Each structure stands twice: as C-alpha cells, then as structure tokens.
Amino acid sequence: MNKSVHNIVIVGGGTSGWISAAILAKKFASIQGAPKVTLIESKNVPTVGVGEGTWPTMRNTLKRIGITETDLITQCDATFKQASKFEGWVTGDKSDVYFHPFNSTKGYPRINLANFWGQDSAIDASFSRAVSCQESLCEQGLAPKLISTAEYKDLANYGYHLDAVKFASLLKKHCLTKLNVKHIEDQVVDVKTCIAGNISAVVTQHHQTVQGDLFIDCSGFSSILLGKALDVPFISKQHILFNDSAITAHVPYASEDQSIPCFTRSSAQPAGWIWDIGLPHRRGVGYVYSSQHCSDTQAKKQLQMYIGTQSVPTEFRKISFKAGHREVSWKNNCVAIGLSAGFLEPLEASALMFVETAATMLADQFPATYESMPSCAKRFNHAFIYRWHRVIDFLKLHYVLSQRSEQYWRDNREASSIPSSLQALLEDWKHMPPSDIDFASQLDLFRAPSYQYVLYGMGFKTNFAAAKHTLDNSELANKFFDLRQQEQQKLSIRLPKHRELIDKIHQYGFMEI
C-alpha cells in the first residue's frame, strides 16, 4: 500500500491521450524522481474527432503545457471561436436565432442584469445583445484580439475551432520532443490484473508486457481498461439525450478569401441539429441526430440540403455513439479520460473540456502512493459524477424549450425524458432568473450566464414583474448596460476581421512577449 507511483501508462492516443500525457509530463518535468509517462497507441485505431470546437479553457491548458498559440493556429488550421449561434431551435422560422457568447453577462457576478433586462421596457434588444458585446462582434465577422495582443490574451473571450487530427499530431510532437514522454506504437491485446484488482500490466502485440503503477484509459468508446478489464458499467443517458449518430463532411470554401465565422453555427433540423465550423481552408459540418427518429439516408439527404449544390463536400462519414458515462471514472489504479469515461453529444463542445478537466484534476491531486489512491479516486469520481449530471441538464435545456412540431422535438419535451433536477430549476426560473445561488458548487461547468443565454434566447418566460424587489441597484445596472455599449463601439472599430487576423498569424505569428 505504501508503494510509490513511478510509472504512468496511458493506453490510447488522440487528443485525450496526448493532452493527458502533456499535462502530467509537464507537471513532473522538473521534479527529481517523479513518475514517468508512457503512452501506447495503435496506428490501426483512427481518431474519432467528434467536433472541432474547444472552450476558452483550452487556452490555459496549452499555455500550461508550453505550446505557443502561433503553433496552434498555424499547425492545426485553428481559428477563433467566440460563441455558438443557434438557428431554428425554437420555431424553425428564419428569424429564430440566438447567441450563446463566451463572454459572461456584463457585470457578472457583481450584478444579475437579467432582472433589469426583463423589467426595463426601454431595452429593445435580445438578451445576449443587451448584456454582451460578443453577439455584435460575431455578426460583424470580427476577431477577438489583435495581432499585437499577447498569446492567449484577449479583448473578447474565445476558444478555438481546429482540425482534431492535426491537433493530436501537434500534441504528440510536443510530448515527444519537449516533455520526454515515452511512446510505444502498438496494439494492446491483453490486460493483466493482480489479486487486489489493480492492473499490473498491459500486453501489446509486439512489445510484449508494459508494466505500470497507474493506468489511464484513453482508448475511446471501447474503454478496454476501465470498461472491459475492470468491468465498470456504462450508464446510458439515451432516454434523456436521444442523439446517437452523426454524419460529417468537410466542405471547401467557394473562394480563398471567404470570411470565416467566429462562432459555431448550430442549426436545428427535424431530428437533430447540424454543426457548421469554419477553418481557414474548409468548413467542418455534421448532422447530429437520433436514429430512432431519422434514418441514415434521411440524415445524409438533410445534410446535403443544408450544404447546398454550390459546395461539393468530401466523402461523408458516419459516426455512432451512445450518450452516457461510466459508473465511475476511476477504479483501483485505472482512470478513464475522454470517450472511455463517457460522451454525451457534440452540442456545446463539452468533450474536450471533460478531457482537460479530468487530466488537470489528476495532475493537481496526483496520488503519491497506492495508499493515497482510494481517497484520490473518491474525490475524482464525486467531481465527475456531479459534472456529468449538470452538463446533461444544460444540454437537455436546449431541447425542452423548443416549440418545434416534429416528433423528435415533441419527444424531447416529454416530462419522462427531462431530469428532475432540470425540472426543478425550470420551475424556480419562472419566478426569478438563474443566479449564482443555483450554481453554488465550484464543480459547476456551466454557470448562470450560460443558462440565461439559452433560456432567454429561446423565449423562456420569467415573471420579472413579481421580482421588482430585486431591482435595488438600478444605477449600477444602467452603468453596466452603458459600459457594454461603449465596449462594443470601441471593439467594432479596433478589432480586425477574423480571416484578416488568421492570415496575419500565418504570415507573421504573434509577437514574442
């Protein structure tokens, strides 16, 4: 039990494997006698690459492991993402549009502007436009920073769109050349366990036995360590989140200088939704749908109609997945990170965020010995069970507020498919807007502003008139509304077009600070 953890073995590459390797190897890089990291990946397992969007958290992750923003942009065909734009989610009409910006509502958390927006009849603007300048920046096609802005700093909050395969390659190169990660290219064919139930070693096809003290399962949906070897059950959430399929394609631009949207476009469809992501030389599009409500043929036809006849996509690709997560992410001396731990759906790009969060928590609370491992696992599992549940609530929120008439959307509104925790929150929000009281835990990944953007973007009705007692600081609220307007005007003049900035980064790179 007092045995030290010297050898970390990661099974599986891709973004989850190499992000985990980088975060752990960077933590231990300057520590004498620290654990060594070995990553085993099979060249026969393709990268799933579901979704090509990240959260702003990725900036801290890349800075932490030592990858420059210039390298990310130039080597991964990355662009900036400031928001998600939802089209057709409420009624399907052409005017049915709202934004979920990465910027928090102005003044948050000092003041909750939702109350003032809802009760001030003089504010003639959508909720996101009233409380954040980012909707306007997106509509103008502006970037979130200047070429002279320091790497990973911003003038408006942002994450990235990127080529997932090239991103994994950049991470791999960085791990092997800068972080001393040992790499074995081989296929795991067997897993050895000891009497105590811990994994003692994995057996590969050509390198025979690889021993370790802590094993990280990044083997994707197959979950060969946590799921198969340790028999941790998969908890399906298909009764809540219906989508289980996606058909994807790469779509070339009509011209080399075509503008690049600085947001993810999410367009509602009869049995799901289509993502549309702009990279420098192409768009990544995909129809996410429920196979119970739509056939593959119908989905492909719907995606082709969305793309139109002017653009000819590359070969269509079908991806199948199950919404849900493992009962626990950490059992004995095995931690699952990425798809091996669970996956919900591409909406709101939470997959890479879960990878970052899990790898960071593991590094920050790394078990020094086997004796400390159970308490580390208990904290880790508590955190991620909570996070799975709350993210499921947030994703489901997008579906339950729709007024669309197709069977898929009607089924999503059935009470039996809505978690009781979300039902309780929706009942509360009829009388007051979401606030920090609803998200008191540090484990909450989506905070009150995100819920407000979706709620009021989709026309949810809060009885603001009954909450007049909350308007105890109108002067401060008006100050923040004015500041938002001033910020928008200044940034609209100062910021470059998105493609203009991307082209400059490719030509010059960011200045070294």
- Following DSSP, what letter does each residue of 461-472 receive, concatenated? ---GGGGGGG-S
**How many domains would you assign to the chain?**
3
pTM across the whole model: 0.95
Mean local confidence (pLDDT), 47-69: 87
> What is the per-residue pLDDT across 268-314, written as a single tens digit (0 to 9) for each?
999 999 999 999 999 999 999 999 999 999 999 999 999 987 677 77
pLDDT > 60? residue 49: no
Q: How far is CA 64 from the centre of its chain?
A: 18
Mean pLDDT of the chain: 93
Mean local confidence (pLDDT), 422-441: 94
Distance CA 57, CA 34 (A): 26
pLDDT > 60? residue 247: yes
Higher-confidence residue of 208 and 415: namely 415
Catalytically active residues, by annotation: 81
In a domain, 480, yes or no: yes
- Residues 149, 257, single domain; the answer is no
DSSP string computed for 122-142: T--S-HHHHH-SHHHHHHTTB
**CATH assignment of the domain containing 276:** 3.30.9.100
Selection from 257, 264, 276 nearest residue 497 by Cα: 257
Of 342, 370, 388, which residue sits at a domain end?
388
Mean local confidence (pLDDT), 416-426: 98
> What is the per-residue pLDDT across 158-172, written as a single tens digit (0 to 9) for each?
999 999 999 999 999
Q: Give the pLDDT confidence score for residue 52 in this predicted structure.
A: 83
- Residues 187, 285, single domain; the answer is no
Which residue blocks in 365-497 are alpha helix, DSSP H?
373-400, 407-412, 420-428, 448-457, 474-494
> What is the per-residue pLDDT across 433-472, written as a single tens digit (0 to 9) for each?
999 999 989 999 999 999 999 999 999 999 887 766 666 6
- Residues 12, 128, single domain; the answer is no
Q: What percent of the chain has pLDDT over 90?
A: 85
In a domain, 475, yes or no: yes
Number of H helices, E strands in the chain: 15, 21
Q: Give the pLDDT confidence score for residue 50 in this predicted structure.
A: 47
DSSP 475: H
- Residues 223, 352, single domain; the answer is yes
Strand-pairing partners, residue 319, are 246
Name the band, by pLDDT with cuts 50, 70 and 90, for residue 498.
very high
Q: Give the pLDDT confidence score for residue 467 in this predicted structure.
A: 64
Higher-confidence residue of 121 and 506: namely 506
Name the band, by pLDDT with cuts 50, 70 and 90, for residue 89.
very high
- The pairing of beta strand 317-320 with beta strand 159-161: unpaired
- At residue 323, the 3 state secondary structure works out as coil
Buried-exposed string 102-111: b where 16+ CB fall within 10 A, e elsewhere: bbbbbbbeeb
